[in-house]
């Protein structure tokens, strides 16, 4: 299905935005902490044409059984949006509500979405939609917002229009990513630095193991973790867990119940691992970060309790067959694991993981490589 097949004419422009892999720094973003994602060479494309009225009409290649969803700019409100189309319509609403854009004299668009970012794999297919659409609307409506502002718009839309309480990492990676580099993001200040990943020069690749165990962030597990973090910060007398260091964990253990303490310990130690990873990449290169990736996975498995058996098996098997490092990535409760592997070992490690899943009676995983790529753009 194409834009032309849905709407009967050709689009005027195309914008695209990538999904992302988070190298390290999980569930730190909404705690004002640090993250280290990179944009990937899997993208969502928004084909767009302006209309003469104020209607937004939205269709997608993954919902061909239903007609386009239509909503007037005058009717934009979260309770008028549901399903996947909220990722598009919510951006227009958030541009007005969060960024203060005046849409009173704007005309609408016909929009068609297609993507090769796997849905439900923890690679942020949702932010890829949001960021491509946000960049497009910003350009076509001549709103003049910069990319950091558009990242805030995307997060606001996902939080309030879609209803998923996510942080700002995904949108920042999708908008700010660069070739063969990671984006070091301070989620409190939104200060960013591009850090050379240098995988190609070191003969390395990132292997993604999509377990095909789907997750849904708008449901309870993610929210429960966020609530625990907020309780922990309040009990420790800080604005956010970002304000605690590893040295504070002894006091935290005395003050908090066991579960809340373990949630706090994950976030505090994960923030430190991000800082350590940035320093290690700059000083020693990507081959030296393997132990940090594995420690991150163990913390998510044991302290934050967001892994699943399929993710654990992917990580363990990759490490047993020679990966430099491996960890689950994304919000958890399913999704994907990543493994940092030598290029020549990629096939053997992928085969070993697939065989291990079969032996365990799990659904066959989707295993593929990704490369750090450019962020959202007009194509």
Strands 55-60 and 109-115: parallel
CB distance 158 to 164 below 8 Å: yes
Element (H, E) at 261: helix 258-284
CA angle in degrees (0–180, nearest 5) for 185-136-375: 35
170 is catalytic: yes
Closest CA to 300 of 266, 338, 256: 266
Strands 69-72 and 109-115: unpaired
Closest CA to 56 of 17, 79, 86, 83: 86
Computed from CA positions of residues 183, 174, 22, 355, in that sequence, does the dihedral angle turn out positive or negative? negative
- Phi-psi group of 97: left, alpha or beta (phi > 0 → left; psi -120 to 50 → alpha; rest → beta): alpha
Of 170, 210, 271, 303, the catalytic one is 170
Number of C-beta neighbours around residue 252 at 10 A: 18
CB distance 27 to 229 below 8 Å: yes
Dist CA 86 CA 216 (whole Å): 15
Beta bridge partners of 325: 340
Coil, strand or helix: which one is 239?
A: coil
Q: Which residues are catalytic?
A: 170
């Amino acid at each position: 299905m194409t834009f032309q097949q849905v709407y009967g004419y050709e689009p005027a422009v195309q914008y695209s935005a990538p999904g992302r892999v988070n190298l390290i720094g999980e569930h730190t973003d909404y705690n004002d902490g640090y993250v280290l994602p990179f944009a990937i060479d899997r993208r969502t494309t928004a084909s767009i044409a302006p209309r003469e009225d104020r209607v937004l009409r939205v269709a997608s290649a993954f919902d061909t059984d239903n007609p386009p969803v239509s909503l007037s700019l005058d009717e934009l409100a979260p309770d008028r949006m549901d399903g996947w189309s909220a990722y598009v319509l919510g951006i227009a609403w958030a541009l007005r509500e969060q960024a203060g854009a005046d849409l009173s004299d704007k005309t609408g668009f016909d929009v068609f979405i297609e993507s090769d970012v796997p849905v439900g794999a923890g690679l942020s297919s949702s932010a890829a939609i949001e960021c491509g659409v946000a960049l497009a609307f910003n350009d076509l409506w001549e709103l003049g917002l910069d990319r950091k502002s558009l990242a805030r718009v995307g997060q606001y839309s996902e939080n309030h229009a879609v209803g998923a309480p996510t942080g700002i990492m995904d949108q920042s990676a999708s908008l700010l990513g660069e070739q063969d580099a990671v984006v070091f993001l301070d989620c409190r200040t939104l200060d960013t630095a591009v850090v050379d990943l240098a995988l190609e020069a070191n003969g390395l690749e990132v292997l993604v193991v999509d377990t095909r165990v789907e997750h849904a962030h708008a449901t309870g597990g993610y929210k429960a973790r966020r609530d625990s973090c907020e309780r922990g910060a309040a009990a420790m007398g800080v604005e956010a867990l970002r304000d605690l260091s590893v040295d504070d964990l002894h006091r935290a253990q005395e003050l908090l119940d066991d579960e809340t303490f373990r949630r706090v310990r994950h976030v505090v130690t994960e923030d430190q691992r991000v800082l350590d990873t940035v320093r290690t990449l700059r000083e020693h290169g990507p081959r030296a970060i393997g132990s940090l990736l594995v420690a991150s996975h163990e913390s998510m498995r044991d302290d934050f309790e967001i892994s699943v058996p399929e993710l654990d098996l992917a990580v363990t098997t990759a490490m047993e067959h020679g990966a430099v490092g491996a960890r689950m990535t994304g919000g958890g409760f399913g999704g994907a694991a990543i493994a940092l592997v030598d290029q020549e070992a990629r096939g053997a490690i992928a085969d070993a993981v697939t065989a291990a899943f079969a032996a365990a009676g799990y659904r066959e995983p989707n295993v593929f490589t990704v490369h750090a790529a450019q962020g959202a753009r007009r194509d």
